[in-house]
Structure 1
């Protein structure tokens, strides 16, 4: 396994990983379609933001991306692995690479909007919940989390 910078040609594969990973949590096909814009990774997105792939030999099996904010902060925008790799340590592998990368870039804080099903994953790593917001699904709330570095 290795992590490498994404190329704009990876956008279709990263979109596929995002949608399959999101569907893993039991969301209907209709819901995934309703979220199509939010779950699509474009060439432009890859060009403008740091995006890193998790590669198993030659196959991309996961990725993360982040947004550079003001005041030495970043927002973890995406962290997804294919469903068959969930629960096997690959999310932690990606997260460790991400945290090491942003520490080396001298960032002081990370924020993220967590998939509700992933909140415990982020808490185990050291993120704390600082708020939440209701999503397009009634009574479904996205935790807002942060970690000071």
Structure 2
């Protein structure tokens, strides 16, 4: 198992991981199609944002990406796994890598917009909800969460 920086050529597999990872939570195919653009990772996205892939047995099974917002704040923009690897500790491996890289760069806070299905996962790392965003699905909200890395 290894985590490496994604190359722009990875955009198709990362898009597929994103789509399948989102589908894992039971969203209707029609809804996933509406989100198709949001779930697509482009070559430009990889070139412009720090994106790291998780490789197991020479297969990319997941990834995460971060956006730099301010000097000491980053946003975890994506963290997805292929469905067959969810619940086996790989998400934890990716999240720990993200936190470690942030600490190495003296980042003080990580923020994210969490799918409701991932709230407990992020809370297990110490993320706290500070607000919520209404989505295109009635009565569904993305949770805005933050993790302070200051001691």
Quick check: TM above 0.5? Answer: yes
> What is the aligned partner in structure 1 of residue 7 from structure 2?
7
**1:57 Cα deviation after fit:** 2.1
Tell me the TM-score normalised to structure 2 length: 0.97
More helix by share: 1
1:47 aligned onto 2:54: no
How many aligned residue pairs are there? 149
Measured in 2, the distance between the counterparts of 1:7 and 1:45 equals 10
Tell me the TM-score normalised to structure 1 length: 0.99
Mapping 1:1-149, distance limit 5 Å? 1-149=1-149
Measured in 2, the distance between the counterparts of 1:124 and 1:14 equals 25
Measured in 2, the distance between the counterparts of 1:76 and 1:19 equals 17
Measured in 1, the distance between the counterparts of 2:35 and 2:100 equals 31
CA-atom RMSD, angstroms? 0.6
Q: Which runs of 4+ in 1 moved over 3 A?
A: none
Task: Spell out, residue by residue over 1:27-70, the C-alpha distance to the aligned partner (whole angstroms, 9 max, x if none).
Answer: 01111110011100000000001000000121100000000011
Task: Spell out, residue by residue over 1:64-98, the C-alpha distance to the aligned partner (whole angstroms, 9 max, x if none).
Answer: 00000114100000000010010111000000000
Task: Spell out, residue by residue over 1:92-142, the C-alpha distance to the aligned partner (whole angstroms, 9 max, x if none).
Answer: 000000000011011100000001000000001100000101101010011
Measured in 2, the distance between the counterparts of 1:49 and 1:34 equals 24
Measured in 1, the distance between the counterparts of 2:93 and 2:70 equals 26
Q: Secondary structure at the match of 1:93?
A: helix
Measured in 2, the distance between the counterparts of 1:50 and 1:147 equals 19
